[in-house]
Amino acid sequence: MRSESGKLSVRVAVIGVGILGACVGWNLSRRGAEVILIDAGRPGEGVTNWSFSWVNASNKTVRRSYFDLNVAGIAAHRELAGTIGPDSWWYPSGHLRWADDPTAEAKFLNTAELLGSWGYRVEMSTGAEARRRLEPALALPDEVPVLLYPDEAWVHGRHLVDRLVGQVVAAGGELRSGTEVRDIGTGADGSVRAVVLSDGSRLDVDIVVNAAGPGASHVAGLVARHLPMRREPGIVTRIDCPQVPIHRAMHAPHIEMRPDGDAAMVLHSREIDALIDTMDTMDTGEAAAELGRLLHGLARQVIPELANSRIAQARVAHRPIPADGFPSVGAVPSVPGYYEAVSHSGITLGPVIGRLLAAEILAGQRDELLVDFRPERFPR
């Protein structure tokens, strides 16, 4: 179809309006596409709002191409902050890491050496220096090695999604929240033609982007596509503080923490995540509350003044991770008009995946950064 200017206009349905869907939709809208954002809940309030929201590449060394994509993600965040403004969502204050046992310490020091050889900035200090220069509230030994990754950041995901969605709608896009996609209609040639929603409406579209996070496998199934996903739940807890005692994201022994505004913090731990399946006999809310109390206890050991803080919310969310652990981004050749944007680390990767996928959809540009992460590696 054509717009009033006579230029070809592509109508795109983006299914899932977390950080990835919002970034894809925003980039498509900027390039002139007619965008319909569809979410079963409210934008940004699913996994995006219940992740640690740490923008990094220091934890992405398992494959060089994945590291490079995450480095590009950090740069894309900076570019996005310069375009839409950084207020309320972008906090480029760096990231700290230290350990309390020799094995873990040796592992992260080896990783730091590798990252340095790849040109990634890392600074080392002692615990005493880190307290004096960076984080005086921490209880950590004077001589323990502490790494600072100065180019890393944390993001308030829901605020960023709100900003991007607002700009899409202001540019003429549409938001359909609180409604699920029940079917994806295809033509005789197998190409995407429409989406059918749970409210009974049918939307004619040219393109569908599956950015449905933990629900991405179900959406893929609507076009007879098999997208294998891991089951990997995680518990995130928010605590209220009279005053937030830290200034940046950090991985302390057994617990990771970051600010969440001026009066709250976010807590997460892989060790506590491992306990989720042991609580399957408990009510979901009761289990989340108990796991939240464990996280709060670990945080108080690292930051004694958190004794005056209280748990505000705790929730178990399911991370959207394709079966091999890497993103699935791009076209699925067997279903013309169907694209995927499914990934763990969506907070880091959202802006770069949004830009690259929009260029692929609207201009046919397949970027080398995505060569290892194409959906066709999963057979239909």
pLDDT at 280 over 80: no
Say how far apart CA 174 and CA 207 lie, in whole Å. Answer: 15
pLDDT at 239 over 80: yes
User: What pLDDT sits at residue 255?
Assistant: 98
pLDDT at 282 over 80: no
Integer angstrom CA distances of residue 327 from 23, 115, 122, 340, 370: 15, 21, 26, 9, 9
pLDDT at 7 over 70: no
Give the bridge partners for 153, in sequence order.
55
User: Phi/psi zone of residue 302: left (φ > 0), alpha (ψ -120 to 50 degrees), beta?
Assistant: alpha
Interval 196-217 mean pLDDT: 97
Buried b (16+ CB within 10 A) or exposed e, 354-371: bbbbbbbbbeeeebebbe
Integer angstrom CA distances of residue 345 from 56, 60, 70, 97, 197: 9, 10, 9, 18, 28
Q: In this structure, what token pair is assigned to residue 66? A: 């994945």
pTM as predicted: 0.96
Buried b (16+ CB within 10 A) or exposed e, 176-203: beeebbeebbbeeeeebbbbbbeeeeeb
Percent of the chain with pLDDT over 70: 98
pLDDT tens across 85-125, in order? 999 999 999 999 999 999 999 999 999 999 999 999 999 99
Residue 177 neighbours by CB under 8 Å, 6+ apart? 17, 37, 38, 39, 41, 42, 43
Q: Mark out the alpha helices in the chain (DSSP H runs).
A: 19-30, 64-84, 102-117, 127-133, 157-170, 216-221, 270-273, 284-302, 346-363
Tell me the residue length of the chain. Answer: 380
Residue 216 neighbours by CB under 8 Å, 6+ apart? 16, 210, 227, 229, 320, 328, 340, 342
User: What pLDDT sits at residue 380?
Assistant: 66
Interval 26-55 mean pLDDT: 97
pLDDT tens across 294-351, in order? 999 999 999 999 999 999 999 999 999 999 999 999 999 999 999 999 999 999 999 9
Say how far apart CA 106 and CA 163 lie, in whole Å. Answer: 41
Q: Mark out the alpha helices in 238-364 (DSSP H runs).
A: 270-273, 284-302, 346-363
Mean pLDDT of the chain: 95
For strand 233-240 and strand 264-268, is the pairing parallel, antiparallel, or unpaired?
antiparallel
* DSSP code for 368: G
Percent of the chain with pLDDT over 90: 94
pLDDT tens across 166-182, in order? 999 999 999 999 999 99
User: What pLDDT sits at residue 2?
Assistant: 36
Q: How confident is the model at residue 8 (pLDDT cuts 50, 70, 90)?
A: low
Measure the CA dihedral 244/101/111/137, to 10°: 20
pLDDT at 32 over 50: yes
Cβ–Cβ < 8 Å for 333, 356: no
Which helix (H) or strand (E) segment holds residue 258: the answer is strand 255-259
Q: How confident is the model at residue 372 (pLDDT cuts 50, 70, 90)?
A: very high
Say how far apart CA 340 and CA 108 lie, in whole Å. Answer: 33
Q: In this structure, what token pair is assigned to residue 8? A: 């070809």
Cα 305 to its chain centre, rounded Å, is: 30
Say how far apart CA 20 and CA 341 lie, in whole Å. Answer: 7
User: What pLDDT sits at residue 9?
Assistant: 85
User: What pLDDT sits at residue 5?
Assistant: 41
User: What pLDDT sits at residue 159?
Assistant: 97
Say how far apart CA 371 and CA 264 lie, in whole Å. Answer: 39
User: What pLDDT sits at residue 283?
Assistant: 80
pLDDT tens across 262-271, in order? 999 999 999 9
